[in-house]
Structure 1
Amino acid sequence: MTTFVDRVELHAAAGNGGHGCASVHREKFKPLGGPDGGNGGRGGDVILVVDQDVTTLLDYHHSPHRKATNGQPGAGDNRSGKDGQDLVLPVPDGTVVLDKQGNVLADLVGQGTTFVAGQGGRGGLGNAALASARRKAPGFALLGVPGEERDVVLELKTVADVALVGYPSAGKSSLISVLSAAKPKIADYPFTTLVPNLGVVTAGSTVYTVADVPGLIPGASQGRGLGLEFLRHVERCSVLVHVLDTATLESDRDPVSDLDVIEAELREYGAGLENRPRIVVLNKIDVPDGQDLADLVRPDLEERGYRVFEVSAVAHKGLKELSFALAELVGEARAAKPKEEATRIVIRPKAVDDSGFTVTREDADGEPLYRVRGEKPERWVRQTDFNNDEAVGYLADRLSRLGVEEELMKAGARNGDGVAIGPEENAVVFDWEPTMMAGAEMLGRRGEDHRLEAPRPAAQRRRDREAERDEAQREYDDFKPF
């Protein structure tokens, strides 16, 4: 059964915002007391947070689909809906968040570090919040915005100071078990270690962590064997330790050739591993002929500039010297790291000519189609109840104030041309009717908007306006003071 997982694909779905409420206050002797519809609640976020007690991504391997709760709809009497509860997902220290294309979205290092994988949707405004001097009793409310849905890839890169690398059965697991309190599974056959093991070592006043990386073989950087799956765990380590087997039973291997193969794989993998400090450990000197082979290859390794230590994990030989040498290198690496800066707030103001949306022309089946893209127009469309004429009229007002109609005219749009707001796979498409005026003066009964009626001839519209003006004049004459 799988017990360690260091790479998963997570499907995060934030909660939807609750719908606003369209309600009118009523009480005895006061049947129309004004709008009192409450706002919808905000949808819950999906948040990744580093938890030191979590060491694997196993939970998300078994349950990759995670969803936060939705916000509740508003109600009458100005009662706002309850916000959705955030879904907090604990992840191990060293988790990297990537999108489906492999771009890094976040590098989560340090207890409590967070990343919002899915943003909850906004709650819709109730008609009480939409009331204004011109629109005193709105007969509609805004819908809640759907929560963000995003597929992300989580990769775990072990956070350790020292990485033990080498061929399978070179003795890495045995070495980490005697240097620290780690208890990895140990046997004398290849690929015993299938997951990285971590151990904490104390050498004098220095405390550092050691990672036992599963065995590498030629071609690991291209995906052969288990190496590629775990080379990422070496990336964060400050010191590399080559564990070489001086008692190998394979006739075509020796410590020097093993070192050359592993170095070639590290260079091929990249990620700056070729510049890390290195130590060479000649292991298993307690085995017959192991000490003789160590004496034979040590001068060659030292000539290459390596610090060489002869140890026996079984007989506990040479371990103290090795642990203090590693502590010295770890201390130097920590001192060389720049001090962490305080959290900075970066303000990126928008360009003065940024309208917040774009209008592009596309031809669909030989007919002109104008596509509007932008955060505000697309959100406003999602918030609109298209079964309510007044709500659609309110959307037209907002788009007009934003300058969408003006840009459509500049782009060459004509009466009856198709206009799509949103991406191709999820757009709202309508035939454009230029609005010459907007606002409350266009409204009829609650829930209606005259702009959505069938267009009237220009002469008829002129006669209607003259009749309305004459009617208003007659009412004024009837009630004017003497």
Structure 2
Amino acid sequence: MTTFVDRVELHVAAGSGGHGCASVHREKFKPLGGPDGGNGGRGGDVILVVDQDVTTLLDYHHSPHRKATNGAPGAGDNRSGKDGQDLVLPVPDGTVVLDKQGNVLADLVGQGTTFIAAQGGRGGLGNAALASARRKAPGFALLGVPGDEGDVQLELKTVADVALVGYPSAGKSSLISVLSAAKPKIADYPFTTLVPNLGVVTAGSTVYTIADVPGLIPGASQGKGLGLEFLRHVERCSVLVHILDTATLESDRDPVSDLDIIEAELKEYGAGLENRPRLVVLNKIDVPDGQDLADMVRPDLEERGYRVFEVSAVAHKGLKELSYALAELVAEGRAAKPKDEATRVVIRPKAVDDAGFTVKREDADGEPLFRVRGEKPERWVRQTDFNNDEAVGYLADRLSRLGVEDELMKAGARHGDGVAIGPEDNAVVFDWEPTMMAGAEMLGRRGEDHRMEAPRPAAQRRRDRQAERDDSQQEYDDFEPF
């Protein structure tokens, strides 16, 4: 049964925002007490957070579909809907988040590091929030915006200070078991280690982590054996240790050729592995002829510039010297890293000529079609109830104020031409009418609603009637017959 997974494809869906409410307050002796529709709640986010207690992506392998809750709709009496609950997904330290094209979205390193994988949708405004001096009693509300939805890939890259590299059965698992308290599986056949093993080593005042991961074979950088699975897990390690088998039973292998092959694979894989500090460990010197072979190859390895250690994981020989040498390299690597700086906020102001949307002509089947793209226009369209004429008019008002109508005219759009707002696979298409009016216009001037006007005093009504008669008389006096 699989107990370790280091790569999964996760389908995430954030919660949608709740719809706003269109309501009018009703009370005795106040038949039209004003709009009191509440706003919809915000949809929940899907958030990835690093948790040190999580070491595998196994849970997401079995349950790859994750969805946050939706926001609740608003209600009358100015009651706003409840926000959707965020869905927090714990991931191991060292998890890399990629999109479907393989682009890195986030590199999650360090306890508590978070990344919003899917943003919850905005809640729609109720008619109380849409009311203004001109639009006193809106007969509509805005719809909630759907939450983000899509697929992301999660890849785990082990976070350790030291990585043990070497051929299968070179003794890496045995070595980590005696250097630390880790208890990996140990056997006398190749590829015993199928998943990374981490151990904590204390050498004097330095505490560091050491990783034992699947072994390498020729062609590992192209995916042979478990090579790629291994190499991904050593990218973050600051020190590499070559474990060379001095007691191999294969006639075509020797420690020096093993080292050359592994170095070639590290260089081919890239990711800076060829430049990491490294040590060479000649393992299994307790085996007959193992010490003799170590004595033969050591001068050649030291001539190449490697620090060489002769050890025996079984007999516990040379372990103390090795652990302190690794601690020295780890301490040097930590000192060379820049100190943590205060969190930076990168501000990228919009260009002064950025209108927030684009208009592009895309004729379809010989008919003119103008596509409008932009965060605001697309969101406004999703918030509009197209069964409500007043809501459609409100959308027209917003688009006009943003300058969409002007840009359509500049692009050559004419009355009746097709206009699409949004991407090709999810757009709202309509025939353009430059003089689209809001639904409230049926009740008076654009945006005004006389239902909410307070009754005029009798004296004011008399003065208004007298003013109307005076205007009529003046028009009669100024009339000149042909």
- Normalising to structure 1: TM-score of the pair? 0.92
CA contact (8 A) 2:437 2:446 kept: no
> 1: CA distance between counterparts of 2:55 and 2:480?
82
Closer/same/farther in 2, CA of residues 421 and 436 from structure 1, 3 Å limit: closer
- Structure 1, unmatched stretches of 5+, are none
Closer/same/farther in 2, CA of residues 415 and 449 from structure 1, 3 Å limit: farther
Closer/same/farther in 2, CA of residues 402 and 270 from structure 1, 3 Å limit: same
Name the SS for the 2:110 alignment partner. Answer: coil
Closer/same/farther in 2, CA of residues 446 and 408 from structure 1, 3 Å limit: closer
1:127-206 maps to which residues of 2 (within 5 A)?
127-206=127-206
CA contact (8 A) 1:389 1:449 kept: no
- Structure 2, unmatched stretches of 5+, are none
> 2: CA distance between counterparts of 1:459 and 1:152?
70
> 1: CA distance between counterparts of 2:458 and 2:421?
29
> 2: CA distance between counterparts of 1:469 and 1:383?
47
Q: Partner residue of 2:233? A: 233
Name the SS for the 2:228 alignment partner. Answer: helix
Name the SS for the 1:331 alignment partner. Answer: helix
> 1: CA distance between counterparts of 2:32 and 2:169?
84
> 2: CA distance between counterparts of 1:455 and 1:77?
24
> 1: CA distance between counterparts of 2:174 and 2:234?
19
Deviation at 1:375, TM superposition (A): 0.2
Name the SS for the 1:414 alignment partner. Answer: coil
Closer/same/farther in 2, CA of residues 454 and 374 from structure 1, 3 Å limit: farther
> 1: CA distance between counterparts of 2:2 and 2:472?
80
Deviation at 1:230, TM superposition (A): 2.1
Deviation at 1:156, TM superposition (A): 0.7
Closer/same/farther in 2, CA of residues 138 and 320 from structure 1, 3 Å limit: same
CA contact (8 A) 2:397 2:438 kept: yes
Deviation at 1:264, TM superposition (A): 0.5
> 1: CA distance between counterparts of 2:391 and 2:78?
19
* Deviation larger for 109-118 or 461-470: 461-470
> 1: CA distance between counterparts of 2:473 and 2:436?
24
Closer/same/farther in 2, CA of residues 394 and 175 from structure 1, 3 Å limit: same
Closer/same/farther in 2, CA of residues 222 and 443 from structure 1, 3 Å limit: farther
Q: Partner residue of 1:375? A: 375
Closer/same/farther in 2, CA of residues 294 and 36 from structure 1, 3 Å limit: same
* Deviation larger for 367-376 or 449-458: 449-458
Closer/same/farther in 2, CA of residues 471 and 402 from structure 1, 3 Å limit: farther
CA contact (8 A) 2:396 2:437 kept: no
Closer/same/farther in 2, CA of residues 101 and 480 from structure 1, 3 Å limit: farther
Deviation at 1:443, TM superposition (A): 4.5
Deviation at 1:404, TM superposition (A): 0.2
> 2: CA distance between counterparts of 1:227 and 1:472?
95
CA contact (8 A) 2:438 2:446 kept: no
> 2: CA distance between counterparts of 1:451 and 1:25?
14
> 2: CA distance between counterparts of 1:463 and 1:219?
97
CA contact (8 A) 1:369 1:419 kept: yes
> 2: CA distance between counterparts of 1:466 and 1:365?
61
Cα RMSD after superposing both structures: 6.5
Deviation at 1:450, TM superposition (A): 15
Percent of aligned positions that are identical? 93
Q: Partner residue of 1:100? A: 100
Q: Deviations over 1:167-209 (max 9, x none)?
A: 0000000000000000001101000000010000000000000
Q: Deviations over 1:202-252 (max 9, x none)?
A: 000000000002111111100111111121111110100000000001111
Closer/same/farther in 2, CA of residues 445 and 410 from structure 1, 3 Å limit: closer
Q: Partner residue of 2:65? A: 65
Closer/same/farther in 2, CA of residues 244 and 446 from structure 1, 3 Å limit: same
Name the SS for the 2:330 alignment partner. Answer: helix
Name the SS for the 2:200 alignment partner. Answer: strand
Name the SS for the 1:364 alignment partner. Answer: coil
Q: Deviations over 1:3-48 (max 9, x none)?
A: 1111111111000000000001011121211100000000000000
Deviation at 1:102, TM superposition (A): 1.1
CA contact (8 A) 2:441 2:448 kept: no
CA contact (8 A) 1:5 1:61 kept: yes
Deviation at 1:150, TM superposition (A): 2.3
> 1: CA distance between counterparts of 2:28 and 2:456?
42
CA contact (8 A) 2:440 2:448 kept: no
Name the SS for the 1:420 alignment partner. Answer: strand
Name the SS for the 1:208 alignment partner. Answer: strand
Closer/same/farther in 2, CA of residues 461 and 170 from structure 1, 3 Å limit: farther
Q: Deviations over 1:285-322 (max 9, x none)?
A: 00111111111111110110000000000000000000
> 2: CA distance between counterparts of 1:339 and 1:327?
19
> 2: CA distance between counterparts of 1:456 and 1:434?
36
Deviation at 1:101, TM superposition (A): 1.0
Deviation at 1:68, TM superposition (A): 0.2
CA contact (8 A) 2:136 2:448 kept: no
Closer/same/farther in 2, CA of residues 292 and 203 from structure 1, 3 Å limit: same
CA contact (8 A) 1:138 1:446 kept: no
CA contact (8 A) 2:438 2:447 kept: no
Closer/same/farther in 2, CA of residues 437 and 87 from structure 1, 3 Å limit: closer
Deviation at 1:419, TM superposition (A): 0.2
CA contact (8 A) 1:388 1:447 kept: no
> 2: CA distance between counterparts of 1:348 and 1:444?
44
- Count residues in correspondence: 482
Closer/same/farther in 2, CA of residues 90 and 472 from structure 1, 3 Å limit: farther
Deviation at 1:162, TM superposition (A): 0.2
Q: Deviations over 1:261-290 (max 9, x none)?
A: 100000000000011001000000001111
Closer/same/farther in 2, CA of residues 451 and 277 from structure 1, 3 Å limit: farther
Closer/same/farther in 2, CA of residues 466 and 126 from structure 1, 3 Å limit: farther
Name the SS for the 2:363 alignment partner. Answer: strand
Deviation at 1:435, TM superposition (A): 1.8
Name the SS for the 2:36 alignment partner. Answer: coil
> 1: CA distance between counterparts of 2:17 and 2:192?
50
> 1: CA distance between counterparts of 2:260 and 2:4?
30
